[in-house]
Amino acid sequence: MSKTDTVVAENPTAETPTQKPAQNPAAPRVEASDPQRIDSLFIWNRLKRTDPKATKPFTRPGGFRGTQIDPTWRLQMMTELFGPVGKGWGYEQMDWTIAERMIFICARVWYVDPETKEKCFTGPQWGGTEMVRRRNGVEMPDDECFKMSMTDAVGKCLLQLGLAADVYLGQFDDSKYREESEAFYAAKSNPDLQPAAIEGFEEEVKRRLNACLDLDDLEEVWRAGVGSRLREIGGVDRAAQHRITGLFAQKKAEILKREEDDGREEAA
């Protein structure tokens, strides 16, 4: 996982001085009715990181070198985010032609936006493959040229959504980045870090926090493996990490307020 994707979960139960944030009179007021800002990079950021196991280097005539991405892995990533092909996303052929002994196919990809449920489309892209292949000096028809042309076109469309963007941005040329990606996907494949497991862990934390009566109880819950588990969760689901950390901060505030109110009653 990259350094920018890793968030170290700090202990929200640690003692901190109570201080109200300073008010900036020049800052504009944000009304509750203001529309929420749309995260236009949500899909891109979910798809941009490539699993090194789904890649392999290649060399073309003339010395050109690049990284080949497994087409099946692309399908898996799209299915993971949008749902089964044909239901949450899909692709369609728009045109095709033959030129210079090559088959060219124009296609576009559609997907259902996870938030708005709107059906959206990428821009059309062309993919091309030679219709013959040479083996041992003999030319033979390639019966998979149509399929490979479609795969080429669809892959170009998926790049518009951000799929495997790190390869095209040159980040994959950095060995350290590839190592971080390997760690990211290793964590992602951990059963304890799957969405259902994270959801169950969050519910368990809520149950245990409800039983906390003072800061000592809160600290005990945190030290019982929650901190280390949250660091792992942060590698695959930063939103869940922030939610769970926020639960501790909220519970701490409730306990401090109750203790303060009790102290005032005793003083009175």
Question: Where residue 98 sits, what CATH number does that domain have?
Answer: 3.30.390.80
Please, which residues bridge with residue 106 across strands?
95, 126
Q: pLDDT value at position 72?
A: 96
Residues 245 and 149 in one domain: no
As a whole number of Å, the end-to-end CA separation of the chain is 55
The one-letter code for the residue type at 148 is M
Do residue 48 and residue 165 come from a single domain?
A: yes
The CA-atom distances, in angstroms, between 112 and each of 90, 116, 169 are 9, 8, 26
167 shares its domain with 212: no
In a domain, 22, yes or no: no
**What is the identity of the amino acid at 118?**
E
Q: Is residue 13 part of a domain?
A: no
The model carries a pTM of 0.62
Count the domains in the chain: 2
Q: Would residue 36 count as lying in a domain? A: no
d(CA 14, CA 7): 18
Would 247 be classed as within a structural domain?
Answer: yes
What residues contact 52, with CB distance under 8 A and at least 6 apart? 172, 178, 181, 182, 185
Q: Residue 189: how many CB atoms within 10 A of its CB?
A: 11
Q: What is the pLDDT of residue 147?
A: 96
Residues 242, 119 share a domain? no
Q: What is the pLDDT of residue 265?
A: 80
In-domain check, residue 183: no
72 lies in the same domain as 158: yes
| HEC string for the chain | CCCCCCCCCCCCCCCCCCCCCCCCCCCCCCCCCCCCCCCCCHHHHHHCCCCHHHEEEEECCCCCEEEEECHHHHHHHHHHHHCCECCCEEEEEEEEEEECCEEEEEEEEEEECCCCCCEEECCCEEEEEECEEEECCEEEECCCHHHHHHHHHHHHHHHHCCCCHHHHCCHHHCHHHHHHHHHHHHHHCCHHHCHHHHHHHHHHHHHHHHCCCCHHHHHHHHHHHHHHHHHHHHCCCHHHHHHHHHHHHHHHHHHHHHHHHHHHHHHC
Q: Does residue 51 lie within any of the structural domains? A: yes
pLDDT in the model for residue 111 = 98
Identify whether residues 98 and 203 lie together within a single domain. no
Domain of 161 in residue numbering reads as 42-173
Fill in the amino acid letter for 65. R
Residue type, 200: G
Domain's final residue, options 142, 173, 204: 173
Whether residue 168 lies inside any domain: the answer is: yes
Amino acid identity at 155: G
pLDDT, tens digit only, all 268 positions of the chain: 444 343 445 566 665 544 444 444 444 444 444 445 567 899 999 999 999 999 998 887 777 788 899 999 999 999 999 999 999 999 999 999 999 999 999 999 999 998 899 999 999 999 999 999 888 888 899 999 999 999 999 999 999 999 999 999 999 889 999 888 888 888 778 888 888 889 999 999 999 999 999 999 999 999 888 888 888 888 778 889 999 999 999 999 999 999 888 888 877 7
